Amino acid sequence: MQPLMLHVACDLGPIRAVTAQIRATESGCEAEFRLDGKIDRIVVPEAAPPLRTDNLWQTTCFEIFWQPIGGTYYREFNLSPSTRWAAYDFDAFREGMRDASVERVDITCVHDRDELVLKAQIAAELPAPAQVALNAIVDHGDGTLQFWALAFPPGKPEFHSEACRQWIVER
């Protein structure tokens, strides 16, 4: 598991550590995200049918950005503890957004007072080698969000920035 860093503009809050990992599979990828801290003090979306849903990033969720090395195209996945998900393709930085073609997204999420673990199996065409970003958004429930990533560009938290894509995935 790789540790994610908290954006410098965010207060520490109830989560003390976030880790993540990803690996390519024959049909797409498998990812795992782990929150450590006071889980009962954050918003954890309730279980729901595993449907494609927009705006998941507005509360606690996890994100994967997958960009083939050498290209400007990238794919974004949003994965909610509720098991809802979203997938978008972009032609370049925040340009040409559209729903991505995805065969299947399976999410499991378990949590207790001290830990939340989300695992996702994604069946979709994901070219490799790729540079990948693994991100987390944590909702404190009082209107504040924490942003966690492998790396951030200078300035505000911007998960779409190529600077966040610090994991190299090969098949």
Q: Work out how many domains the chain is built from and give that number.
A: 1
Q: What is the pLDDT averaged over residues 10-26?
A: 95
Look at residues 64, 66, 81 and name the one whose alpha carbon lies nearest to residue 20: 64
Output b/e per residue, 52-80; b: 16+ Cβ within 10 A: ebeebbebbbbbbbbbeeeeeebbbbbbb
Amino acid 153: pLDDT: 94
- What would the two tokens of residue 160 be? 């779409």
| pLDDT higher than 90, residue 139 | yes
Render pLDDT for 83-130 as a digit per residue (tens, 0 to 9): 999 999 999 999 999 999 999 999 999 999 999 999 999 999 999 999
- Look up the CATH number of the domain holding residue 150: 2.60.40.1190
Amino acid 171: pLDDT: 79
Global pTM value: 0.95
Render pLDDT for 154-163 as a digit per residue (tens, 0 to 9): 999 999 999 9
Amino acid 18: pLDDT: 98
| pLDDT higher than 90, residue 132 | yes
Domain that holds residue 92: 2-169
| pLDDT higher than 90, residue 63 | yes
Per-chain mean pLDDT for the chain:
96
> Any alpha helices (H) in 73-145, and if so which ranges?
none
CA-based torsion, 106, 101, 133, 49: positive or negative: negative
| pLDDT higher than 90, residue 11 | no
